[in-house]
Amino acid sequence: MVKEFTLEQLDRIIEMGWEDRTPFEAIEFQFGITESEVIEVMRKELKPSSFQLWRKRVNSGVSQKHLMKRNPEIDRFRCSRQRIISHNKISKR
């Protein structure tokens, strides 16, 4: 069963889930939910057609949602341009 999240947290989970370069491990680290719970959230919150497209893309090998599929030189979850403490917003340049 999926934990209760605020609207802001749900938006962030969906955003991270939708982005190909964010691994499931990063979502688990930040929100404490497993890959299967992320899938449940996506299934519940997205339109059925959007969910199907997302699942197809994640399972097709194009996505890097799993750390084992990623470049081994990438050892961090967050972008170097992200602010350290700012709800994951990209800093102004």
Span 35-79, pLDDT tens digits: 999 999 999 999 999 999 999 888 876 556 666 655 555 555 555
pLDDT at 85: 47
Instruction: Give the residue from 40, 54, 35 showing the smallest Cα distance to 4.
Output: 40
pLDDT at 87: 56
**How many domains does the chain contain in total?**
1
pLDDT at 88 over 80: no
- Indicate the DSSP class of residue 1: -
Sign of CA dihedral 36, 82, 46, 10: positive
CA distances from 77 to 45, 59, 80, 88 (A): 24, 20, 9, 11
**Can you tell me the distance from the alpha carbon of 14 to that of 46, in angstroms, rounded to the nearest whole number?**
9
pLDDT at 93 over 50: no
Range of the domain at 13: 1-93
Angle between helix axes 35-45 and 48-59 (nearest 10 degrees) is 150
